[in-house]
């Protein structure tokens, strides 16, 4: 509020001070009073069309919009007088009169603002005796999105999102009156990288996501907050998953990513590339320790403890023999700051390994908005910890390296698969810690399954240098270990204190 | 004050021609005003004349102009609202067809007063021939130096453009008109900001009805005092009363503001049609609450009609005879607003259609006892709660029908 003059007003008899220019709706929110709304979204200018947020302002003959009315000195606002409550009830009655009420087969059920507000503000007996308007119920509007025009309440959030946020304008309103409906404006359907946000901002079940449709009911979903790992933006996300009921046994399933609001990083949105990255948590996972070709690990039994103790012993022995120049470690920028710091302590400071490399996915294209070209989340964190992200020269490693410890599946992204496999053949022992199966697996001696960022806690430093901590958002895949745990056990085996 | 030239609708087949207009003293008021008066004085004169808007709301024209910020370097605009869509209203078309130069001279005066260089006439799409006539008149005026640069040899310049609408009632609502003029879907804008500060192409904008603007040359030809003397002190001039429906002589009558409704119907429109008695009267376009026969002694001015909870509106008088079942009227009224609702805000989008469905069902013999209450409830749910005045426009006539003719509706349901 510094710099902006303050305005004093009363809401429901309680005085408060807010910055000049604040709307009644926002001022009420500061007091913890939530005025119901459909068309209003904090990302856009007030639209004023749903008429749900009408409140009583003393001295005015009619109810006025909370979303667009700016506070004035001495204003007295009442948010739940009989007149206001009746107006809300009436708006709900209007909406629901022409609504198909197909909640039992609607994906939005459970998080639908028609349901929520009917419960809070409706509760009238229906007097609708007429026929309902028939409209398209599964209209594809681009990418994975399906539009149900009967459920639509014409809040136009989708239209405004596409005009003001992506500036692509694929949707518009057609026809008028009760026949008015959302449609594709100008021929080309939705193709932008932010389409999934339309599903989130649709307050009802009008826009649903083909990826999520009919997969589950939202009340089974558990929320976990995390940071999207698919580029260096570090968008805040909510990961929605189910563990156990209604899935059999203790099965785990990830259903979707939703954006979590963070004005400093991603605002209200996430990109589709990141959103549909939730499949990464389930697809192509390395699920168990795999020992190839009867290498040295095979003799020790394929369990985490045995392998990590063995690896620590090998490293210890090589350190004792002064052979650290024959050890190489390949890290990646999906590791958290904490893991990268532990790597530094163990591999650089304690063991004195010089050959530290990075293998990340090849850069993609940024979209000029949230998605950056860098396809890993923590490059900036790695740099801040003093690492230089150099890709190893595999031919150079062959012959000069006896032990290669690889984190992540991206080593072969940077060279031809055959040549890389041949080069790795020249390295005696190779350990691969990876969450995903890849062509690299067959070229190493042991593959050890790790957890993904969604399954662990730590921090990433994003493209703008903002360090973001996150907790474990979903239960780790059974059999996998987070790198932090792997590094802690290695450190223990080596007698290194991580602190 | 019975100057034959002092009329909005001159007689004669060729009254629309520039020569005929000049013969009536046309463009002299604008010439004298621009060459001898300051814009501020023009504004004061209009305020003095108590010229109230002829479009429906009756807002004083001078006050409306005064809202336009003068110290502002954005281009300012005048939009003449010629989207005459209110059922029962057919006055603006007569002015534009019979006396287009009167409108143009009015535009010159208004623009001079407010400092506007570009004016638009937004005319309803159906008035195609009239739009052509306006364009011809604009061309005639331009040739004579009454429009374009250096008008009457002064430094004042003005262009007038005609824009045809595409046939939507809501585009007569001033902010929907602006959207439509900008090439967008004709949806009303959320106010504030008001058009006087953020209007057409985001510039300060004055929107006036055709008849309002057409009165200006008369005010400057004969003076504000003369104008006030023609009507009422707080509501100056004449009105073009369009009488339609069950009368012997339907037509357009220019009479002083404040003329009693009964006098208009009986003395001018010849009284109710043969063999009929008056059942109801709409005094000011379909959006005005219906009056019963015992209410028609009301003087036709804004305040007198507001006093009996109706509206002067566009002064379109519709007389309904006693042979017409009120359910037919309710059906037509409801269907009109349901068809013309733009669909933007909830109460109007759903409410108008819902009421129309109930009325149709009642009309088809399927009425149930709760229907009248439902209609009243739905209309109350629209009244004062919509984004633009259309919610009121739809609710008022419906409420007046169920309030004043509920007995007939109830009898019909019970049959």
**Do A425 and A350 share a structural domain?**
yes
Q: How far apart are CA B18 and CA A482, in angstroms?
A: 89
Interface contact flag, B357 A131, Cβ < 8 Å: yes
Residue in A90, A156, A157 to test binding to B, most B beta-carbons within 10 Å: A90
- The verdict on a CB contact (< 8 Å) between A177 and B370 is no
Same domain for B142 and B85, yes or no, is yes
Residue B162 and residue B292 in one domain: no
Write out chain B residues lying below 8 Å of A133, CB-based: 353
Chain B interface disruption, residue of A21, A39, A44, A48, most B CBs within 10 A: A48
A443 & A378 share domain: yes
Same domain, A62 and A136: no
Which residues of chain B fall below pLDDT 70?
A: 1-5
Give a yes or no: residue B2 inside a domain.
no
What span, in angstroms and rounded, lies between the C-alpha atoms of B312 and B283? 6
Closest chain B C-alpha to A43 CA, distance in angstroms? 17
Residues A94, B347: C-beta atoms closer than 8 Å: yes
Structural domain includes residue B96: yes
Q: For residue B384, give the nearest of A63, A153, A178 by CB distance.
A: A63
Residue A283 in contact with partner chain B when CB distance is under 8 A: no
Same domain for B333 and B310, yes or no, is no
Closest chain A residue to the Cα of B355, Cα to Cα: A130
Residue A142: its H or E element: strand A139-142
pLDDT in tens, A192-233: 999 999 999 999 999 999 999 999 999 999 999 999 999 999
User: Cα–Cα distance between A31 and A27 in angstroms, integer?
Assistant: 7
Is the ipTM reported for this complex over the cut 0.85? Answer: yes
3-state secondary structure A66-126: CCCCECCCCCEEECCCHHHHHHHHHHHHHHHHCCCCCHHHCCCCCCCHHHHHHHHHHCCCC
Q: Cα–Cα distance between B28 and B205 in angstroms, integer?
A: 26
Whether B307 and B377 share a structural domain: no
DSSP structural state of residue A165 = I
Sheet holding B118-123, edge to edge: B159-164, B118-123, B77-82, B205-209
Residue among A61, A94, A173 whose CB faces B381 most closely: A94
End position of a domain, from candidates B321, B354, B371: B321
Residues from chain B that touch A91, judged by Cβ atoms under 8 A, are 346-347, 381, 385
For A245, other C-beta atoms within 10 Å of its C-beta total: 10
| Residue from the list B187, B341, B368 with its beta carbon closest to the beta carbon of A177 | B341
**CATH label of the domain that carries residue B285:** 3.10.20.600
* A359/A449 same-domain check: yes
Contacts of A268 (CB under 8 A, 6+ apart): A41, A42, A43, A197, A201, A259, A261
Task: Give me the CATH number covering residue B51.
Answer: 3.40.50.11540
Angstroms from B339 CA to nearest CA on chain A = 6
Cα gap A445→B230, rounded to integer Å: 105
Number of domains in chain A: 3
**Residue A20 host element (H or E):** none
Query: Is A40 an interface residue toward B (CB < 8 Å)?
Result: no
Same domain, A138 and A12: no
Helices A304-320 and A483-494: crossing angle in degrees, nearest 10, is: 50
Partner-chain contact A98 B353, CB within 8 Å: yes
Q: Is residue A243 one of the residues assigned to a domain?
A: no
The three-class DSSP label of residue B106 is helix
For chain B, say whether A48 makes contact (Cβ under 8 Å). yes
Q: Are residues A302 and A165 in the same domain?
A: no
Strand partners, A55: A64
Is A198's Cβ below 8 Å from some Cβ in B? no
- CB-CB: which of B350, B358, B385 is closest to A54? B385
Q: What is the extent of the structural domain holding B389?
A: 326-414
Residues of B in contact with A61 (CB under 8 A): 384
> What DSSP line would sit under A362-413, residue for residue?
PP----SSS--S--SS-HHHHHHTT---PPP-HHHHTTT-SEEEEESS-GGG
Q: Would you tell me which residues 106-145 of chain A have a C-beta closer than 8 angstroms to some C-beta of chain B?
A: 127-131, 133
Q: B56 CA to chain A: closest CA distance, Å?
A: 20
Q: How many domains does one find in chain B?
A: 3
For residues A328 and A191, membership in a common domain is answered with no
- A177:B353 CB<8 A: yes
The confidence score (pLDDT) of residue A295 equals 52
How far apart (Å, rounded) are the C-alpha atoms in residues A36 and A42? 13
| Chain A nearest CA to B36, separation (Å) | 44
Report CA-CA distances (Å) from B340 to B25, B107, B170: 41, 29, 7
**Which of B321, B345, B376 corresponds to the end of one domain?**
B321
Q: Domain holding A182: CATH number?
A: 3.30.70.20
CA-closest candidate to residue A315, choices A284, A345, A290, A352? A352
Look at A130 and B352 and tell me if their CB atoms are within 8 Å: no
Q: Which of B186, B335, B341, B350 to mutate: most A Cβ within 10 Å?
A: B350
Q: Are residues B203 and B350 in the same domain?
A: no
Final residue of a domain: which of B292, B321, B350? B321
Q: Measuring CA to CA, which residue among B57, B31, B49 is closest to residue B175?
A: B57
Give the pLDDT confidence score for residue A187 in this predicted structure. Answer: 82
Say which residue the tokens 């046939």 belong to. Answer: B167
Answer yes or no: do B89 and B116 share one domain.
Answer: yes
CATH number of the domain enclosing A44: 3.10.20.740
Are A140 and A60 found together in one domain?
no
> Does A179 lie in the same domain as A328?
no
Distance CA A156, CA A172 (A): 8
**Are B311 and B341 found together in one domain?**
no
Per-residue 3-state assignment (H helix, E strand, C coil) for A184-205:
ECCCCCCCCCCCHHHHHHCCCC
- Pick the closest to residue B20 from B120, B140, B111, B123 (CA basis): B140
pLDDT reported for residue A2: 56
Cα separation, A130 vs A94, whole angstroms: 13
What's the CATH code of the domain at A443? 3.40.50.740
Residues whose CB falls within 8 Å of the CB of residue A328, separated by 6 or more in sequence, listed in order = A353, A355, A356, A357, A392, A397, A401, A403, A404, A405, A427
Sign, CA dihedral B403-B405-B407-B413, equals negative
Contacts of A129 in chain B (CB under 8 A): 358, 361, 368
The phi and psi torsions of A355 (rounded to 5 degrees) equal: -85, 80
Closest CA in chain B for residue A154: B344
Across the interface, do B344 and A154 touch by the CB < 8 Å criterion?
A: yes
Looking at the domain assignment, is residue A283 inside a domain? no
CB B286 within 8 A of CB B397: yes
Position B273 in a domain: yes
Interchain proximity A173–B343, CB inside 8 Å:
yes
Peptide bond into B234 cis (omega under 30): no
**Residue A76 CB coordination number (10 Å):** 14
**Do you find a cis peptide bond into B193, omega within 30 degrees of 0?**
yes
Contact by Cβ (8 Å): B353, B388: no
Q: Kindly state whether residues B226 and B253 are assigned to the same domain.
A: no
User: Do B311 and B330 sit in the same domain of this protein?
Assistant: no
Final residue before a domain boundary, out of A80, A109, A143 = A80
For residue B5, being part of any structural domain is answered with: no
Domain check: are A346 and A458 in the same one? Answer: yes
- Output the pLDDT for position A1: 46
Range of the domain at A156: 95-209
Which of B167, B176, B179, B346 is most worth mutating to test chain A (most A CB atoms within 10 A of its CB)?
B346
Q: What are phi and psi of A14, to 5 degrees?
A: -100, 135
Q: Are residues A488 and A362 in the same domain?
A: yes
Ranges of chain A whose pLDDT falls below 50: 1, 297-300
Same domain, A307 and A171: no
Are residues B133 and B93 both part of a single domain?
A: yes
Q: Residue A114: its chain B contacts at CB < 8 A?
A: none
DSSP A223: E
In a domain, B291, yes or no: yes
A84 near B CB under 8 A: no
DSSP letter for each residue of B353-372: HHHHHHHHHIIIII--TTHH
Is there a contact between A39 and B344 (Cβ–Cβ < 8 Å)? no
Q: Is residue A227 part of a domain?
A: no
Q: Which residue, A80, A113, A135, sits at the end of a domain?
A: A80
Residues B326, B321: Cα–Cα separation, whole Å = 10
Same domain, B48 and B159: yes
Q: Is residue B66 located within the same domain as residue B193? A: yes
- Last-in-domain residue among A80, A108, A142: A80
Contacts of A483 (CB under 8 A, 6+ apart): A335, A336, A339, A407, A433, A450, A451, A456
Q: How far is B395 from chain A (nearest CA, A)?
A: 14
Please answer whether residues B343 and A179 qualify as being in contact, where contact means their C-beta atoms are separated by less than 8 angstroms: yes
Q: Residue A176: list chain B partners with CB under 8 A.
A: 168, 170, 340-343
């Amino acid at each position: 509020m510094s710099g902006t003059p303050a305005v004093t007003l009363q809401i429901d008899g309680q005085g408060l001070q807010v910055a000049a220019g604040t709307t009644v709706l926002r001022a009420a929110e500061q007091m913890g009073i939530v005025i119901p709304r459909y068309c209003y979204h904090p990302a856009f200018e007030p639209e004023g069309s749903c008429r749900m947020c009408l409140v009583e302002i003393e001295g005015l003959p009619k109810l006025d919009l909370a979303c667009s009315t700016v506070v004035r000195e001495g204003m007295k606002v009442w948010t739940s007088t009989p007149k206001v409550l009746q107006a809300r009830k009436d708006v709900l009655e209007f909406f629901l009169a022409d609504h198909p009420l197909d909640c039992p087969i609607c994906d939005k059920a459970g998080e639908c603002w028609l349901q929520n507000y009917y419960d809070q503000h409706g509760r009238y007996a229906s007097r609708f005796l007429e026929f309902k308007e028939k409209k398209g119920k599964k209209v594809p509007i681009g990418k994975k999105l399906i539009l149900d025009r009967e459920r639509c309440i014409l809040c136009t959030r989708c239209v405004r999102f596409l005009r003001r946020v992506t500036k692509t304008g694929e949707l518009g309103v057609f026809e008028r009156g009760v026949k008015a409906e959302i449609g594709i404006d100008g021929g080309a359907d939705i193709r932008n990288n932010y389409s999934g946000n339309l599903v989130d901002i649709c307050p009802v079940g009008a826009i649903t996501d083909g990826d999520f449709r009919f997969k589950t009911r939202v009340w089974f979903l558990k929320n976990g907050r995390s940071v999207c790992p698919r580029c260096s933006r570090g968008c805040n996300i909510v990961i929605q998953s189910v563990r156990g009921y209604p899935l059999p046994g203790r099965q785990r399933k990830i259903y979707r990513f939703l954006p979590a609001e963070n004005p400093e990083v991603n605002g209200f949105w996430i990109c589709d590339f990141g959103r549909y990255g939730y499949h990464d948590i389930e697809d192509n996972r390395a699920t168990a320790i795999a020992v190839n070709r009867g290498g040295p690990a095979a003799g020790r039994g394929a369990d985490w403890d045995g392998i990590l103790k063995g690896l620590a012993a090998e490293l210890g022995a090589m350190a004792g023999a002064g052979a650290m120049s024959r050890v190489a470690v390949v890290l990646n920028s999906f590791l958290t700051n904490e893991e990268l710091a532990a790597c530094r302590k163990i591999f650089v400071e304690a063991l004195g390994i010089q050959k530290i490399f990075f293998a990340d996915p090849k850069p993609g294209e940024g979209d000029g908005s949230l998605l950056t070209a860098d396809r890993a989340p923590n490059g900036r964190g790695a740099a801040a910890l003093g690492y230089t992200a150099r890709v190893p020269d595999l031919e150079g490693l062959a012959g000069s390296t006896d032990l290669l410890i690889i984190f992540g599946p991206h080593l072969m992204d940077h060279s031809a698969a055959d040549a890389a496999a041949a080069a790795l053949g020249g390295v005696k022992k190779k350990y691969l810690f990876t969450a995903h199966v890849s062509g690299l697996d067959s070229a190493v001696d042991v593959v050890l399954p790790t957890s993904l960022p969604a399954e662990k806690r730590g921090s990433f430093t994003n493209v703008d240098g903002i360090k973001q901590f996150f907790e474990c958002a979903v239960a780790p895949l059974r059999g996998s270990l987070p790198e932090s745990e792997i590094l802690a056990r290695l450190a223990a085996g080596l007698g290194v204190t991580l602190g | 004050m019975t100057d034959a030239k002092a009329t909005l609708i001159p007689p004669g087949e060729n009254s629309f021609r520039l020569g005929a207009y000049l013969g009536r003293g046309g463009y002299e008021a604008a010439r004298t005003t621009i060459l001898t008066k300051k814009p501020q004085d023009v504004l004061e004169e209009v305020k003095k004349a108590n010229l109230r808007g002829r479009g429906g709301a009756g807002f004083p024209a001078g006050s409306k102009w005064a809202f336009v910020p003068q110290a502002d370097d954005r281009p300012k605009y005048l939009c003449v609202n010629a989207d005459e869509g209110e059922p029962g209203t057919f006055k603006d078309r007569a002015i534009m067809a019979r006396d287009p130069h009167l409108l143009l001279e009015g535009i010159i005066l208004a623009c001079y007063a407010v400092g506007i260089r570009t004016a638009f006439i937004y005319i309803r799409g159906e008035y195609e021939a009239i739009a052509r006539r306006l364009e011809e008149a604009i061309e005639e005026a331009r040739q004579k130096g009454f429009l374009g640069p250096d008008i009457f040899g002064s430094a004042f310049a003005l262009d007038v453009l005609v824009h045809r609408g595409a046939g939507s009632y809501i585009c007569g609502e001033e902010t929907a008109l602006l959207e439509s003029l900008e090439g967008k879907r004709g949806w009303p804008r959320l106010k504030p900001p008001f058009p006087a500060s953020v209007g057409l192409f985001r510039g300060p904008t004055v929107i006036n009805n055709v008849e309002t603007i057409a009165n200006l040359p008369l005010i400057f030809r004969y003076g504000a005092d003369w104008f006030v003397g023609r009507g009422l002190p707080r509501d100056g001039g004449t009105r073009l009363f369009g009488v339609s429906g069950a009368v012997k002589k339907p037509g357009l009558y220019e009479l002083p503001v404040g003329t009693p409704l009964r006098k208009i119907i009986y003395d001018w429109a010849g009284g109710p049609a043969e063999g009929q008695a008056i059942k109801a009267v709409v005094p000011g376009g379909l959006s005005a609450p219906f009056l019963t026969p015992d209410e028609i002694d009301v003087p036709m001015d804004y305040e007198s009609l507001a006093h009996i909870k109706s509206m002067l509106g566009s002064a379109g008088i519709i007389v309904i005879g006693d042979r017409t079942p009120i359910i037919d009227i309710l059906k037509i009224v409801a269907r009109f607003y349901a068809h013309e609702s733009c669909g933007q805000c909830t109460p109007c989008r759903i409410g108008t259609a819902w009421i129309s469905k109930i009325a149709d069902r009642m009309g088809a013999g399927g009425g149930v006892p709760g229907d009248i209450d439902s209609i009243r409830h739905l209309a109350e749910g629209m009244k004062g709660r919509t984004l633009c005045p259309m919610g009121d426009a739809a609710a008022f006539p419906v409420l007046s029908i169920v309030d004043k003719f509920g007995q007939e509706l109830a009898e019909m349901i019970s049959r």
